[in-house]
Amino acid sequence: MKITRADEERPADGRPQRGRKAFTLIELLVVIAIIAILAAMLLPALAKAKQKALIASCMNGEKQLALAWSMYCDDNNEKVINFDTKTSGSHPDIPWRYEWSSLPVPFTPPAGTVQAQRTAQILEGYKQGGLYKYAPNGGVMHCPGDSRYKLQLASLTDKGPFSFTSISGVEGFNGQKATTSPSGDTTHVFKRTNLRHPTDKIIWMEENDSRGENENSWEFNEGSGPSGNYSAAAFIDSPAVFHGSSSSFNFADSHATSRKWSDGQTLLYAGSTDPGKYGNITRPNISNAPKDTAFVAKGYAMPDNL
């Protein structure tokens, strides 16, 4: 029997072999369009999940700090820790952390980039501070959404704009303007037992200081206080928006939560990285940012607001 070329190409089962059909350009474009649509649907959900993860991480660190603050009060006859970041003649109590430039015990950071050395200095400042024994992890001071730690420093004598610490203790709780004479100081809270509503009194604030490392304590003008419905209340230091448009807070009863800023002026002020923003941007106040200002004013511990 004569074998033809067609017989050679015929499969063993005897069926003729068909040519393979490739995708057409139209089909490829349709597939690409479907993938693009699915990506557009998924990316916002992924971004939202990332923000929630940042908030959860930040709140976890703040909760640890709030518990450390409470344990310090337990061990020190209910006295609240110094919320300045250094000591002075009128304010000699050990602070919760020391500024990198005010370390009481000399410290030489290990070799590395200037940013890594500064971070080591900042962590050493926390280690030498009063809360380290209760929360021995300096990372609790840093929000993973705070990108200032990526900024450049010219040298170890340069102050900014690099920053690792994302929070500051509120000034009303034994902050930088307090004195050693509580009986003569009518503007600060010195004892935890003085608090009547610890569940809504803020201990630490996330701060976006565009000039560099957060120093001292976080200042706010409560205006007329609760008796005057906080008229003339206004921000002084900047809040932050390290996770989207929100900040996380911890409170004197040791719980932590997150709040989305709702006033445009607050978002503008909190998000600005301009080193001169404190003079270039109108600070949020009870008139131009009524919701956010009232929230902070009610949570800002002062002798007339406990």
Confidence at 43, pLDDT banded by 50, 70, 90: confident
pLDDT by residue (tens digit) across 118-128?
A: 999 999 999 99
Provide the pLDDT for residue 248.
Answer: 93
Provide the pLDDT for residue 28.
Answer: 83
Provide the pLDDT for residue 86.
Answer: 93
Confidence at 7, pLDDT banded by 50, 70, 90: low
Q: What angle do CA 288, 276, 300 make, to 5 degrees?
A: 50
pLDDT by residue (tens digit) across 67-77?
A: 999 999 999 99
Region 130-153: mean pLDDT is 94
Mean pLDDT, rounded, of the chain: 89
pLDDT greater at residue 275 or residue 39:
275
Provide the pLDDT for residue 189.
Answer: 93
Does the pLDDT of residue 12 top 60, yes or no? Answer: no
pLDDT by residue (tens digit) across 22-35?
A: 778 887 888 888 88
pLDDT by residue (tens digit) across 189-201?
A: 999 999 999 999 9
Dist CA 35 CA 289 (whole Å): 42
Question: What DSSP assignment string belongs to the chain?
Answer: -PPPHHHHHS-TTSPPPPPPPPPPHHHHHHHHHHHHHHHHHHHHHHHHHHHHHHHHHHHHHHHHHHHHHHHHHHHTTTBPPB-SSS-BTTB-SPBSS--GGG-SS---PPSS-HHHHHHHHHHHHHHTSSSTTTS--GGGG--TT-GGGGS--SSTT---S-----EEEBTTBT-TT--S-GGG-SS-B-BGGG-S-GGG-EEEEE---TTSS--S-B-EE-TT-GGGTTTT-EE-S----SBTTEEEEEETTS-EEEEE---HHHHHHHH---TTHHHHSPPPBTTTSHHHHHHHHHHS-BTTB-
pLDDT by residue (tens digit) across 279-292?
A: 999 999 999 999 99
